[in-house]
Amino acid sequence: MLIAATVLWQACNSSHVERETNKETSTPADAPALPAFELKSERLSSTLKIPGELIAYQQVDLYAKVSSFIKTLHADVGSEVTAGQLLATLEAPELNSQLLGAASRLKSQEAKYLASKSTYERLLQTSQTPGTVSQNDLDLALAQQNADLAELEGAKAAHTEVSDMRNYLEIRAPFSGVITARNVSTGAYVGPSGRGSEAPIFTLQDHQHLRLVVSVPETYIRYMQKNDRVSFFVKSFPNQSFAAQVNRLAGALDPQLRAQRIEMDVTNTDKQLLPGMVAEVQIPLDGLANGFAVPTSAVLNTMQGVYIIKVENNQAIWVPITTGNRTMDKVEVFGNLQVGDHLIQQVNEEIRDSSMVTVALASP
């Protein structure tokens, strides 16, 4: 009886295992086929729209170098000036007295030097006759000449310094541009910043050349290279496109924005654009050679990462990827993928990794 019971139990167990095996083997055939597509080599190009700011190519605040008073203003807000043009004349009477004093000291030192030089030359000529002039007297005369020469050079430097300070009484434009601010009037006391004049006398900007400044996020910096050309729009001219060329890349990311500062030069000969305008910059994003374009529905975003589901031998394989360009219905992906791979077109987390599936190929 014991032997009979054992044989019966083994027979039942074998039948149960066979039924389970048949059930698992038949699952892919019984389950509905999932739509899939064959991966093809395709670059995905799109356009990134980010805000930018137009600033003057050159801008300077003009202060008085010396403490003085405004005598005459030769320019005002909106004046177009050229490099070297006189903008303002200042007056400081004490500088005239200082200049006269420096000139007097210079003439006095010149006279002393000429006298000591003449003395040394006469002694030197007389010393040609042996025993007439001692060597010590000759050395003293030469030392006096050199001392007077040094004092003369110092007097010349002092006179030049006062003359240069007097030249600062004329404010001239360092470059061609437009006066965008005037903060003083005739008779006002002015001086270096923090010494009588916190605000500058003038603010000068170059409007014929502008800088378009944008902060490109870390994800997209690989698409921007020097000498690339981009287009942009401004609210003042919504239907007009403007062009700019990439000239300067910061080469580092801003620690707060995690973006790279990029500057583009804009030619503004007609002066349509103004510094301070906000621009919408359109940056072309050309697909990379090692990427593939897949439908957005084929990308699975989970807590663990981003995946696509590849099918090999009726088995679902989760492949980790990174994404790039995006359009309305496609996304650029990078990962362990090859042309000809079969990918599931509509993915979800219910399609588990390493599970058995059946697919029906379709166009992406």
CATH number corresponding to 48-58+205-285: 2.40.30.170
CATH number corresponding to 31-44+289-361: 2.40.420.20
Give the pLDDT confidence of 252-266 residue by residue, as tens digits. Answer: 998 888 899 999 999
**Which amino acid, residue 133?**
V
In CATH terms, the fold of domain 60-90+173-203 is: OB fold (Dihydrolipoamide Acetyltransferase, E2P) (2.40.50)
Give the pLDDT confidence of 32-56 residue by residue, as tens digits. Answer: 688 899 888 887 777 888 999 999 9
pLDDT of 3: 57
Residue with tokens 């707060």: 256
> Which residues of the chain have a pLDDT value below 50?
7, 15-28, 364
pLDDT of 55: 94
Q: Are 183 and 199 in contact (CB under 8 A)?
A: yes
Residue with tokens 């996020």: 217
pLDDT of 77: 93
Radius of gyration of the chain (CA): 42
* CA distances (Å), origin 301, targets 36, 296, 322: 18, 11, 11
Q: Are 164 and 97 in contact (CB under 8 A)?
A: no
Sign of CA dihedral 95, 98, 102, 108: positive
* CA distances (Å), origin 31, targets 195, 302, 311, 317: 86, 24, 15, 18
CA distance 25 to 13: 18
Q: What are the residue boundaries of the structural domains of the chain, listed by start? A: 31-44+289-361, 48-58+205-285, 60-90+173-203, 93-168
pLDDT of 31: 57
CATH class of segment(s) 93-168: mainly alpha
